[in-house]
Amino acid sequence: MRIGVLTGGGDCPGLNAVIRSVVRTAATQYGSEVIGFRDGWRGLLEDRSTPLDVAAVDGLLTRGGTTLGSARVAPEKLDAGLDTMRRTLDRHGVDVLVPIGGEGTLTAAHLLSEAGVPVVGVPKTIDNDIDGTDLTFGFDTAVSIATDLIDRLHTTAESHQRVLLVEVMGRHAGWIALHAGLAAGAHLTLVPEEPFDVDDVVRLVTERFARGDSHVIGVVAEGAHPLPGQMAFREGGVDEFGHRRFTGVAQQLGEELERRTGKEVRATVLGHVQRGGTPTSFDRVLATRFGLHAAIAAHEGHRGQMVALRGTDIDLVPLARAVARLKTVPASRLRELHAFTG
């Protein structure tokens, strides 16, 4: 058998570990070959590929990013390129395609699968917002990085009696903010799922300083936004992929807080540092298990499915189910968070 692999969307720690795992499983367990397509779907559209054998993936387990490169491709281009992609796969004798990616990549994978292309997907995203899997690899790494950096902000905020707002990734879902906020003992965590009340934030800041607390740490997901009409808020709109654009919400909220509380506020945007570098041991293991089970599923004839973590097991779920909705933070988890606000 010959398996095609590609990585699509934003990069994410653990992608290389999946590639390595697919290649090793295919080669050592089944005597199969793997070919990697470069830069996501573009590699299929433009026929750019590289053979992947066990030697080629040596050392990839710990390396961040993706050795295949990644790119986002607009849905219209994919639609129009379906036949081209199918021809590329045929030309290389690919029996099954294993696309590793987030919501956009898996939606495209579903489209291909519906058009008859044999596909087994692997979910990835630091945002942890893919439905059907309990977790995605990359999330644990992003939370660990964010937690470490927020820990460091406590001491500088204390020294200057400041409010420090830390903006973390998560444009549609607040999983990183939720976990990093809890892990780093934030006094306030704002997520896209629940528009924030600026008056409540002002009250929290005023009350903490009034009772003698030294500082305030607020974790703000990049997709968080205020209740309508509460402050002059510059909306970012959506991009060509339907993704919420960056609004600089921490900076905007910081300016409003400074004006209304008279306290010094600083905003820190963690940005792409959350996606860079080596994956945590948790993410290496999850990525390795995803790659292993994707290769097994491909050989066992499963199609139109995605590997997923359910409890402690790796299962298969239909791609159709995984892409039907985004997995956002539920109300029960938000209630837990509220217990640590203030």
User: Cα dist. 223→104, 170, 245 in Å?
Assistant: 18, 6, 8
CA dihedral 77, 78, 83, 88 (to 10 degrees): 110
* Exposure b/e, 249-270, CB count within 10 A at least 16 = b: bbbbbbebbeeebebebbbbbb
Nearest Cα to 85, choosing from 122, 33, 43? 43
Tokens of 37: 């397509």
How far apart, in Å, do the first and last CA atoms of the chain sit? 57
The structure tokens listed for 176 are 């990183």
Residue 143 token pair:
């939370």
- For the bound state, the minimum distance from the C-beta of residue 180 to ligand F6P, rounded and expressed in Å, comes to 13
Q: Which of 33, 39, 127, 283 binds ligand F6P (CB under 6 A)?
A: 127
CB of 239 to ligand F6P, least distance (A): 9
- Exactly one of 124, 275, 289, 302 binds ligand F6P (CB under 6 A); which one? 275
**Cβ nearer to ligand F6P, comparing 10 with 226:** 10
Q: State the minimum distance, in angstroms, from the CB of residue 272 to ligand F6P.
A: 6
Stretch that binds ligand F6P, among 47-55, 85-93, 153-161, 169-177 (CB under 6 A): 169-177
Contact between 10 and ligand F6P per CB under 6 A: yes
The residue at minimum Cβ distance from ligand F6P is: 169
Q: How far is CA 273 from the centre of its chain?
A: 13
Q: Is 161 annotated as a binding residue?
A: no
Nearest to 152 by CA among 279, 268, 277, 249: 268
SS3 265: strand
Choices 31-39, 48-56, 125-133, 191-199 (CB under 6 A): range interacting with ligand F6P: 125-133
Of 24, 42, 110, 171, which lies in the binding site for ligand F6P, with binding defined by CB under 6 A? 171
- Two tokens, residue 46: 């433009």
| From 47, 58, 90, 127, active-site residue | 127
C-beta closer to ligand F6P: residue 184 or 249 = 249
The token pair at 327 is 């997995």
Site for ligand F6P contains 179 (CB under 6 A):
no
Q: What is the DSSP letter of 338?
A: H
d(CA 311, CA 12): 22
> Token pair 């009340």 is at which residue?
197
Provide the 10 A C-beta neighbour count for residue 162.
18
Among 13, 14, 36, 102, interactor with ligand F6P by CB under 6 A: 102
Dig out the tokens for 150 from the structure.
Answer: 């927020």
101 labelled binding-site residue? no
Is 134 known to be catalytic? no
10 annotated ligand-binding residue: yes
Which residue lies nearer to ligand F6P by CB, 7 or 125?
125
Applying CB under 6 A, does 170 fall inside the site for ligand F6P? yes
Contacts (CB under 6 A) with ligand F6P, residues 193-222: 222
The verdict on 125 binding ligand F6P (CB under 6 A) reads yes
Residue numbers in the known binding site are 10, 72-73, 102-105, 125-127, 162, 169-171, 222, 266, 272-275
Catalytic residues: 127
Q: Which residues bind ligand F6P (CB under 6 A)?
A: 10, 102, 125-127, 169-171, 222, 275
